[in-house]
Homo-oligomer: A and B are copies of this chain.
Amino acid sequence: MQKLTKREDQIMQIVWRLKTAFIRDIIEQLPEPKPHYNTVATIVKILVKKGVLQSEMIGNTHQYSSAVDFEAYRDENLGSIKKKFFGNSFSKMMAYFAKEENLSEAEIEELIHMIKSNKNKKS
């Protein structure tokens, strides 16, 4: 999958959240200052060409939806994080996380549950 630019990424985040979107929906979600309609349309067209968005004609306007799943994109993006920030050491990373967030008892229980049940289930 092709790398996305900042703007492309921003638009994809919106589409992933909305599932399907018209240009106007994307603009609505973008923070001020809102870009010009055609600006968004241009980037969306690039995303279609890159194969990360697909479009369907609804009436006489395009409706867009993601053509790659969020999880795949996330996995690609996070692939090098551990290496980049923790010298590839899992335990260093976990120590960081554990220290960083003051988790409540309930959150800790939930997390432990998640870790145990998700074991070896990486999609």
**A residues in contact (CB < 8 Å) with B:** 13, 74-75, 77-78, 81-82, 84-85, 90-103, 107-108, 110-112, 114-116, 118-123
Taking the closest CB of chain B, its distance from the CB of A119, in whole angstroms, is 6
Contact A91 B78 (CB under 8 A): no
Separation of A110 and B89 alpha carbons in the complex (Å): 12
Interface pairs (10), CB distance under 8 Å: A74-B85, A78-B81, A78-B85, A81-B81, A90-B97, A90-B103, A91-B103, A94-B111, A98-B119, A108-B116
| Known contacts A78-B96, A94-B114, A107-B91; is-contact A102 B119 (Cβ 8 Å) | yes
Could you say how many copies of this chain the assembly holds?
Answer: 2
Once A107-B91, A115-B112 are accepted as A-B contacts, the answer to whether A82 and B99 lie under 8 Å apart by CB is no
Shortest beta-carbon distance, A77 to chain B, in Å? 7
B100 near A122: Cβ-Cβ < 8 Å: yes
Asked whether A115 lies within 8 Å of B99 as measured between CB atoms, the reply is yes
Nearest B residue to A10, CB-CB: B84
Q: A80 to nearest B CB, angstroms?
A: 10
- Please measure, in the bound complex, the distance between the C-alpha atom of A111 and the C-alpha atom of B115, giving whole angstroms: 9
Chain B residue with Cβ nearest A97 = B94
